[in-house]
């Protein structure tokens, strides 16, 4: 029985699921199952619970960090986005896609950590110099930094 089938069949009768049951599955299977659950709005809560279980079991796994970062974006939980995507950047290093840099920049801006967002945008542009989203973020953040710098000097 697939993880998805097991969760759907037992979601109504059990307290969601046990970690021992989830532990039998590799992170990639958990990620794919979360994606399948997200296809149906009725199963979003189950997808989030599975994401929490998956990250608890595999806290340093690329699949779990990626999908939990995405789940955090869906909840607009910017602190959790940062919590999941910063270690993902370290794991992926040169393999990190532009979308991950972009999402992390947005989360850092939402948390008002503009300096860190600019650093991430700059790092992302080293790997993806052609990415217009990162270029735009960098431009906006540099403009804010210049404005703040001018305000400090006039006071």
pLDDT of residue 13: 45
pLDDT of residue 117: 97
Q: Mean pLDDT, to the nearest integer, of 69-98? A: 97
Give the residue range(s) of CATH 1.25.40 domains in the chain: 79-155
pLDDT value at 113 more than 80: yes
Sign of CA dihedral 132, 135, 141, 143: negative
Which three-class secondary structure state does DSSP give residue 153?
Answer: helix
Instruction: State the Cα–Cα distance between residues 50 and 18, nearest whole angstrom.
Output: 10
Q: Mean pLDDT, to the nearest integer, of 49-53? A: 93
Mean pLDDT of the chain: 89
Query: Hey, what CATH topology would domain 79-155 get?
Result: 1.25.40
Which tens digits make up the pLDDT trace of 85-105?
A: 999 999 999 999 999 999 999
pLDDT value at 73 more than 60: yes
Cβ atoms 125, 119 nearer than 8 A: no
pLDDT band at 40 (very low <50, low <70, confident <90, very high): very high
């Amino acid at each position: 029985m697939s993880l998805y089938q097991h969760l759907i069949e037992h979601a109504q009768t059990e307290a969601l699921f046990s970690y021992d049951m989830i532990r039998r599955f590799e992170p990639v299977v958990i990620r794919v199952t979360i994606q399948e659950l997200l296809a149906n709005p009725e199963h979003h809560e189950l997808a989030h619970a599975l994401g929490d279980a998956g990250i608890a079991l595999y806290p340093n796994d690329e699949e779990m960090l990626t999908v939990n970062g995405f789940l955090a974006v869906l909840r607009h939980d910017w602190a959790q986005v940062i919590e999941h995507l910063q270690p993902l950047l370290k794991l992926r290093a040169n393999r990190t896609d532009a979308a991950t840099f972009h999402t992390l920049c947005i989360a850092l801006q939402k948390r008002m950590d503009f300096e860190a967002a600019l650093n991430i945008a700059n790092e992302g542009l080293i790997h993806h110099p052609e990415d217009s989203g990162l270029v735009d973020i960098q431009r906006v953040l540099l403009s804010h930094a210049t404005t703040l710098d001018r305000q400090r000097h006039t006071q």
